[in-house]
Copies of this chain bind each other. A is one copy, B any other.
Amino acid sequence: MTYCTAVLVEAGLVIIADTRTNAGLDNISTYRKLHLFQADDRMLAVATAGNLSITQGVVSLLSEGLENPETGEMETIYRSKTMFRAAQLIGRAIRRVRTVDGPALEDVDLRFDCSFLFGGQIAGGPMRLYMIYSAGNFIECSQEAPFLQIGEHKYGKPILDRAIHHGSDLYDALKIALVSMDSTMRSNLSVGLPIDIAVVRRDTITPELIHRIEVGEPYFHDLRERWSTALRAAHMAIPTPPYGKQAAAGGPTKPAG
């Protein structure tokens, strides 16, 4: 499995991805799932989940280019005029890979399984974040729920639901995304370290941070420990349910006199 999440707040974009792939329990590898496309006028990040042969094929096409059906010109992700056009290009790349590989995958009962987070900014346009589905259609992240997730998304969603809002500090957003990743890694062994991170401040068109958290890195280790400790303390601080015998026994029991 994979877990990737991206957060788009007022200050900018955070996108993180794990790197574990598995084709059966005895075939575990580390593959990059966070791909950056940088040029003078753009800073784009694509995170991938699903069948690795499909997602690598799509990512390759983004650099190699596909014909734009409107203009007839070859379009690469470095030449798309807007974020929306670039998201459409990713959609077309997905459909191209499906046309080429889909039937053969179906023949061996493999589902055409892929999804993408695509975020960033092209100079002159706004910063945007999209989630692109295996059919090539996509949705855009909203201010009301300023994050998107792909892959094994459920374990890590509660903390995002509670803690992220449009006004969150950029590095708070990164911290919460890492807590979300930690929850996922604890509950699903097929999501694992290292974790790739990119942070892009709005309107800068350059990455402020590109980092890989390796196994044993002290900050992430400390974050996991602190989060565990805090959760334990949090539920300990909630009063015992006021139901049943124990609750009845919780009051003063000293005999009068």
Residues of chain A having any CB pair with chain B under 8 Å: 154-155, 157-159, 161-163, 170-172, 174-176, 178-179, 183, 186-187, 197, 199, 208-209, 211, 219, 222-223, 226-228, 230-235, 237-247
Q: Is the CB of A162 within 8 A of B179?
A: no
Measured CB to CB, the closest approach of chain B to A146, in angstroms, equals: 16
**With A208-B245, A232-B162, A246-B170 as contacts: A154 and B240 at CB distance below 8 Å:** no
**With A179-B238, A208-B245, A241-B219 as contacts: A162 and B228 at CB distance below 8 Å:** yes
Bound-state Cα–Cα, A20 to B188, Å = 27
Bound-state Cα–Cα, A155 to B188, Å = 12
Q: Is the CB of B243 within 8 A of A175?
A: no
Q: A155 contacts which of B154, B199, B240, B243 (Cβ < 8 Å)? A: B154
Q: A161 contacts which of B162, B187, B244 (Cβ < 8 Å)? A: B187
**With A155-B154, A158-B187, A162-B186 as contacts: A227 and B232 at CB distance below 8 Å:** no
Bound-state Cα–Cα, A158 to B233, Å = 15
Contacts of A175 in B (CB 8 A): 235, 238, 240-241
Q: Is the CB of A242 within 8 A of B219?
A: yes
Q: A158 contacts which of B186, B209, B234 (Cβ < 8 Å)? A: B186
Contacts of A163 in B (CB 8 A): 231-232, 235
Q: A238 contacts which of B183, B211, B223 (Cβ < 8 Å)? A: B223
Bound-state Cα–Cα, A241 to B171, Å = 7
Bound-state Cα–Cα, A1 to B33, Å = 32
Q: Is the CB of B235 within 8 A of A234?
A: no
Contacts of A246 in B (CB 8 A): 170-171, 208
Q: A243 contacts which of B158, B211, B228, B243 (Cβ < 8 Å)? A: B211
**With A158-B158, A161-B187 as contacts: A235 and B171 at CB distance below 8 Å:** no
Contacts of A186 in B (CB 8 A): 158, 161-162
Bound-state Cα–Cα, A183 to B235, Å = 13
Bound-state Cα–Cα, A159 to B236, Å = 12
Q: Is the CB of A235 within 8 A of B179?
A: yes
Contacts of A159 in B (CB 8 A): 231, 235
Q: A230 contacts which of B172, B226, B230 (Cβ < 8 Å)? A: B230
Q: A178 contacts which of B172, B197, B241 (Cβ < 8 Å)? A: B241
Measured CB to CB, the closest approach of chain B to A64, in angstroms, equals: 31
